[in-house]
Amino acid sequence: MMYLYIISTLALVATIAAHCELHHLDDAVDAYLKAQKTGQTAAFTATFDNSTWLGYYENAVKMTIHNNTLSKPLPITHTRTIRDLTLCSTYTEVVVDSKSDPYVIGTQLRFANHKINRVDSIVTKPGDWLFNITGFAYWTAQENWDTIAVEQRDTRDTIKKAADAYLDLFNNPNTTVPWGTPCVRLEGGLYGDPGPEGSCAVGVPQGVPLTRRRYVIDEAVGSVEVLLDFGQSKWPDSHQFRVEKGKLRYVHTLTHCGTANCGLPNGTSIVS
């Protein structure tokens, strides 16, 4: 009886391990990026798990796969992907540094049975929160998001808690946040102080709930990305963090609010 139990347990562990392998995630991200570059979605939809399919979402709106930004060919100039082998998910930052039609897109892919079962994108462009393609494209390329040596990596729990502390601070000023020095925030296209004393602790608003959080965590690069609803208006938002030695190092934010610069004057920041 014990022998059968052990065999069953090992089989279950093997199934779980096989369920989420790095090459499956990377192949799916490659298919996603090819679809976005060409506007041709057939090869990408072939990677979907139809038995568990939850949908394609763009700025929190469920859409058909053939009538959205993905079906529009975009000349991508930069990408960065993190991979979550625990939750079987990925997050990809996509930059389209185009003078005529610029975008910054953040996309989560979630998986079941080796295939994609949900696509969730924040699509930002001129008119969205502090959007500035020149600033975003330049600064994201300057930062170091390299793989962290195994012995120096933070745990999954540490990385998530650092992100949650930052996000909780918006609605609870008594939250203790593990600020790093330096720490710099890239917000739409607005960049903080890139110097050695740069801080992310300045200008954080109060009374702003950040809810419905969906995480992708990659311990290898010390990063967590969170899709969420921003404030009472529930603006679709992405916050991505780089955590080094338990401290916040970088924060990237994308916010789509449906009205030009969320109804605030250009250059005004509420710190997202």
pTM above 0.85, yes or no: yes
Domain end residue (candidates: 75, 104, 124):
124
CATH number at residue 248: 3.10.450.50
Q: What distance in Å separates the CA atoms of residue 110 and residue 116, rounded to the nearest whole number?
A: 6
Is residue 268 one of the residues assigned to a domain?
A: no
77-96 per-position pLDDT tens digit = 999 999 999 999 999 999 99
Owning domain of residue 232: 133-263
pLDDT of residue 266: 59
Q: Which residues of the chain have a pLDDT value below 50?
A: 1-18, 270-272
Check whether residue 18 and residue 54 sit in a common domain.
Answer: yes
Check whether residue 249 and residue 211 sit in a common domain.
Answer: yes
pLDDT of residue 264: 74
Is residue 89 one of the residues assigned to a domain?
A: yes
Domain end residue (candidates: 124, 156, 186):
124
Check whether residue 104 and residue 155 sit in a common domain.
Answer: no
Check whether residue 81 and residue 191 sit in a common domain.
Answer: no
Cis peptide before 182 (omega within 30 of 0): yes
Check whether residue 27 and residue 98 sit in a common domain.
Answer: yes
Check whether residue 31 and residue 113 sit in a common domain.
Answer: yes
Domain count across the chain = 2
Mean pLDDT, the chain, whole residue set: 91
Check whether residue 112 and residue 171 sit in a common domain.
Answer: no
Q: Which residues contact residue 149 at a Cβ distance below 8 angstroms, ignoring those fewer than 6 apart?
A: none
CA distances, 188 to each of 60, 66, 140, 227 (Å): 18, 27, 11, 15
